[in-house]
Structures are given as C-alpha cells and as structure tokens.
Amino acid sequence: MKGTILRGSLSGGFDVRLDIGENIEEIKVGTFCVVQGRRFDFFSMVVDEDIEAANPKALYETVSDNPLVNEIVQGTGILDKVKIQPMIMIDRSDGSVRPVKSIPGHLSPVREAREEDVFRIFGQPDATHFHVGSPLDMEHIPLCIDLEKFIERSNGIFGKSGTGKTFYTRLMLCGMIKSNLCNSLIFDMHSEYGWAARDEDKNRREAKGLKQLFGSKVAIFTLDPESSRLRGVHPDFVVEIPYQAIEAEDIALVWEELNLNSTALESIYVLQKHLGRDWLLSFLKMEVPDIESFAERTGAHTGALQALQRKLMKLERLPFIKENPADDAVKRIMDYLDNGMNVVLEFGHQKSMLAYMLVANILTRRIHELYVKRSEEALGKGGMVNKPLVIVIEEAHKFLSPEVSKQTIFGMIAREMRKNNVTLLVVDQRPSGIDPEVHSQLGTKITALLTEEKDIEAVLCGSNNARMLRNVLASLDTKQQALIIGHAVPMPVVIRVRNYDEEFYREITRPVKPGLGARLKESRNLDDDPEMSAPGREFEELMKELYGE
C-alpha cells in the first residue's frame, strides 16, 4: 500500500489517497500502515475504505468507450480512499513510542508497515512477550502480547460460537504457562484444555492439551472421573464438593438454573442464618413436620420452604456434591498452585450450567479468600506476595451479568483488578450479557468475529476509536482472526492467530533459558518449603502412583 495523506483529524483519523496503480481490493481493513510525517512515524490501522470524487459529478459518469479516459479518471478524478486511524506515534529521532497527540501534514507519504515497525511497538518474542500471531497480511511478522501486562488485569476472550475462542484461550494459556509468570486455574466446562481435544482444523484430528504440552506443570482435576478415563485422561485429582461448602451466595448465583424467585432467595439466607454451616444438608433432610416447625420458628412460609426444598433437591443429583468428601479440593488446588502448577478442572459430563457455576463459584470464592488473606499478611510483614493467579471461566456472562456480578466472587475479582494477584480470563460468546462495569475493568480483550450490534458495542465500550474498530470487528474472518485491544498491547490490533500445530508444540515446549523466570521476584520460592506436599513431581511418577505401572 502506498499513498499520501489527503485529509484528516486527530479525532476522526486520516484519509489516505492511494497512489495511482495501487489496487484498493488488495488492502484489507485491519492491516497496518505507517504515515511518515516530518518528525514522527504514525503507526496506523486501516479502518475503512471508500471511493471519492474530486468533482462529485464524476461519480455519475458511465464507462467511456475510450478505455484511456477511464484510466485517466481513475486515481485522479475518482480516488480510492483508505481511512486509517493513527494508533501510535514513533519519534524517529530516538525511537520512543508515544500516544498520538498530533497529525501528519497533508501529502505525507503512507507506506505499509514493516517488521521493524511492528517490533518497535509490540516487542520481539521473548520470555514475556508471547508470539500470538501476526498482523493481517504480514504473516511472516510475529506479533507479541506483553504477558506481564496481560496478567496484571482481568481479561476477556470473546467471539461468536465457532470462531475459535477455545483455541485462543488455549494459546494464551500456553503462553502464560510457558512464561511462568503466573499460575492458572481453568474451569474447563467442555474438557478441552487439559487433554487432547478435537481440533477445528479437519486436517488434524486432535489439538494437544496443556497437560500433553507441559507435563508436570499442569494438573488435571476432574469432577467426572469416569468421563476423564473414557477419554484416556488420567486425572491428578477427583474433585468433590462438600455440602458445607455451599453457601447462600452460591445458590443465589444459580437462581436461574434452579428456577428460584426472590422470596426463595431470601429464605435461603434465613436458612443459612438459623441452620449454620450444615444448612443445606439439614434442610434437604427435613421432613414435612420439620419444615413446618422451622417455618413457625422463623416466620417463613411453609409452602414456600417446601417448594424451595424441592428445587434444591436438584443439587442432590449432582454426583460430585458429597456429604463427607475424602479430600478438600480447595486445599489440593492451592497445594498445586503453590507448587507452581496450573490446574485444569474438567467437568466431564457434568457440564450443566448449574454444576459449572456452582463449582466455579465455590472453589473460586475460597481460593480468593486464601489469596486475600495471604496478600494481607504480605502487606503486614512486607514479605511474600502471591504468585499471580489467572482463573479461566467460560460462559462468563452467567457469572458476570449485571444482575449477579455485584454479588458473585467473579464480579469482585474483576473489579478489584490485581490487588490480590487474582485475575480472571473470561471466555464468552455473548459479551453483551456481561455487566458493563466489569467490561470496563477488563484489561485486554481478544475478540474474534462478532456480528450482534450489542455484543460489538459491549466489547468496544471504553476503548478509544470504538467507532473505527466496529468496522474492523464486524469484518473479521470467522477463523483465526482476532482483534486484540487493551492493556497488553500498545494499540488495538487485528491478528491472524498463529497455528496450533507441531511447530507451535515444539516452540512452546522448548525449555526457557535459565534466569528468565526469575524476573518475577515476588513469587514465592516454594522449592525451599519442606512442608509442601509433592504434587510438583514429575508427571510420570504421578501416573504410576495413581494407576500403577
């Protein structure tokens, strides 16, 4: 792409007139270009294209019999115009990158962006800069996300179904695990992250899971050991949730799934208040006379309580809710996380929203509590700080809808940002269902194609140039293309996401050079802690212990 600046403004972007001979059909929305001003290079993105006539009458001319006339007019009287949005300004004298605060002059030359431009802005692949893909039409140039910035805040991955959200999530998780900057806890609703999952690409049968790639750095927990085994996965731990762990707040989150009204929700809080820790089990075991006497004591309505009991019976059908579980799942998860491992919790066949939300909420709440406590202690003693934890949740709009986000732990985590070193990676296909307040707190958003106006609006809320990016977002391919906006990239960028293939496997499993992981100075030095149990040992050993030779 070659052209010159035709007109422009700081707020509205620039119009570039394409040089004669350039083919507008070959310039895609979302590609990068550089405007060479007198002192600055303006790194910009193509956001729109149109046809303009110097003299509007010319637009109504018909095709002339003399091809020469048509050729003369094209590019002179009728202009192919590309609308670009300046994103970043680079001072050519010292190479410093800064936000755009001025505009280049008329007729400043515009050229395609080159590798060095991309590197100057997004950085070169290294231990903390993760190569996620390449700019559109520049497939040879790696484009990086700054992982240190990425994990500083909660993030979102959005896109219509079938656009590869899982794929993007897995890719980002690979980057995070490899970088060793944080631990992740993945609530894997469809059991796609831990072990091999069917790949979207028909040419290959399976995409390797995190456990296959990272071995001892990843532990698979499961709610459904049967399903895991059937798929040939050897889970590290089977999660069971005790009734005592379920609190009124957890039930409130799944009110829709349990079909509870607001009166029922109030009754739950009353139940918890009167029955204590064991409220749920005690309530479920109540016979009719017990309910009546309870109602009498507390002034509740008997019929309402009976209805509530019937509805809560649904929980009994969830096989992983146990009266006396063998082990405390939260403690085990914490042990693994403390050993620098990443935990994938598979739901197997328990993929109802009820199970997913309940488990995710219960576990996250307790883990968050522990993290908060630790960071408070750390503040007090000025000592150890938690290693950042990234919690991955799918169908996030269920947890973060405006109705519930204020009450759930997830809403809280999203709001408090990195204060306690716990952040979310929310994966969702209906971003419009997520509380706008939460949206505004999301640091980085990776967005595949969205077509619903409301969803596009939700994702772009709070970002500059939303109007420009809208066109870009709606014109993405359905596969392997995503828009990244926010904290971890200096500017919004459309990428062709890299392939998840053998080459990627090789690169991601190549050992990190020593010393790179040490950048995270505040991370706990767990190797020296003799009290920690053994989950950090090699994958093979674990397998032997669990399943014999």
Nearer to other proteins, 64 or 263 (CB): 64
Which range in 8-16, 61-69, 211-219, 256-264 contacts other proteins by CB under 8 A?
61-69
Q: Which residues contact 453 (CB under 8 A, 6 or more apart)?
A: none
Nearer to other proteins, 36 or 70 (CB): 70
d(CA 497, CA 134): 7
Q: Which of 52, 61, 278, 477 binds other proteins (CB under 8 A)?
A: 61
Paired residues of 394 in beta bridges: 427
Nearest alpha carbon to residue 236 among 211, 223, 219, 216: 219
Give residues 238-277 in contact with other proteins (rule: CB under 8 A): none
Q: Is 464 helix (H, G, I), strand (E, B) or coil?
A: coil
| CB 77 to other proteins: min, Å | 5
User: Strand 241-242 vs strand 321-322: parallel, antiparallel, or unpaired?
Assistant: parallel
Nearer to other proteins, 53 or 265 (CB): 53
Token pair for residue 277? 């820790």
Contact 85, 13 (CB under 8 A): yes
Q: Which of 10, 54, 288, 546 binds other proteins (CB under 8 A)?
A: 54
Nearer to other proteins, 21 or 530 (CB): 21
| CB 160 to other proteins: min, Å | 44
Token pair for residue 103? 């505009």
Contact 399, 427 (CB under 8 A): no
Nearest alpha carbon to residue 320 among 229, 243, 220: 243
| CB 35 to other proteins: min, Å | 24
Token pair for residue 273? 């208040």
Token pair for residue 325? 């579980």
Token pair for residue 548? 């014999």
| CB 80 to other proteins: min, Å | 14
Q: Which residues contact 203 (CB under 8 A, 6 or more apart)?
A: none
Nearer to other proteins, 7 or 39 (CB): 7
Token pair for residue 375? 């960071």
Q: Which of 9, 23, 55, 93 binds other proteins (CB under 8 A)?
A: 55
Give residues 318-347 in contact with other proteins (rule: CB under 8 A): none
Contact 318, 355 (CB under 8 A): yes
Residue 236, CA atoms < 13 Å, CB-side half-sphere: 29
Nearer to other proteins, 58 or 372 (CB): 58
Q: Which of 24, 58, 97, 417 binds other proteins (CB under 8 A)?
A: 58
| CB 204 to other proteins: min, Å | 51
| CB 69 to other proteins: min, Å | 5
Nearer to other proteins, 52 or 292 (CB): 52
Nearer to other proteins, 72 or 313 (CB): 72
Nearer to other proteins, 69 or 284 (CB): 69
User: Strand 78-91 vs strand 40-53: parallel, antiparallel, or unpaired?
Assistant: antiparallel
Nearest alpha carbon to residue 11 among 85, 88, 72, 104: 85
Nearer to other proteins, 61 or 256 (CB): 61
Give residues 13-52 in contact with other proteins (rule: CB under 8 A): 20
Nearer to other proteins, 7 or 406 (CB): 7
| CB 398 to other proteins: min, Å | 58
| CB 56 to other proteins: min, Å | 9
Give residues 63-92 in contact with other proteins (rule: CB under 8 A): 64, 66-69, 71-73, 75-77
| CB 54 to other proteins: min, Å | 4
DSSP symbol at 510: S
Q: Is 496 helix (H, G, I), strand (E, B) or coil?
A: strand
Q: Which of 11, 23, 26, 57 binds other proteins (CB under 8 A)?
A: 57
Nearer to other proteins, 52 or 148 (CB): 52
Nearer to other proteins, 65 or 94 (CB): 65
| CB 81 to other proteins: min, Å | 15
Token pair for residue 464? 């500059």
Chain center to CA of 216: 24
| CB 63 to other proteins: min, Å | 11
Which range in 57-65, 217-225, 264-272, 345-353 contacts other proteins by CB under 8 A?
57-65
**Kind and range of the H or E run holding 390:** strand 389-394
| CB 78 to other proteins: min, Å | 8
Q: Which residues contact 439 (CB under 8 A, 6 or more apart)?
A: 156, 431, 458, 459, 461, 462
Proportion of the chain in helix, strand, coil states, percent, rounded to 5: 40, 25, 35
| CB 20 to other proteins: min, Å | 8
Give residues 92-151 in contact with other proteins (rule: CB under 8 A): none
Mark residues 158-197: x for contact with other proteins by CB under 8 A, - for none.
----------------------------------------
Q: Which of 53, 275, 461, 466 binds other proteins (CB under 8 A)?
A: 53
Give residues 360-389 in contact with other proteins (rule: CB under 8 A): none
| CB 7 to other proteins: min, Å | 16
Nearer to other proteins, 68 or 326 (CB): 68
d(CA 181, CA 178): 8
What's the Rg (C-alpha) of the chain?
A: 27
User: Strand 78-91 vs strand 97-99: parallel, antiparallel, or unpaired?
Assistant: antiparallel
d(CA 398, CA 438): 13
Q: Is 3 helix (H, G, I), strand (E, B) or coil?
A: strand
d(CA 80, CA 75): 7
# of chain residues touching other proteins (CB under 8 A): 18
- Footprint of other proteins (CB under 8 A): 20, 53-55, 57-58, 61, 64, 66-69, 71-73, 75-77
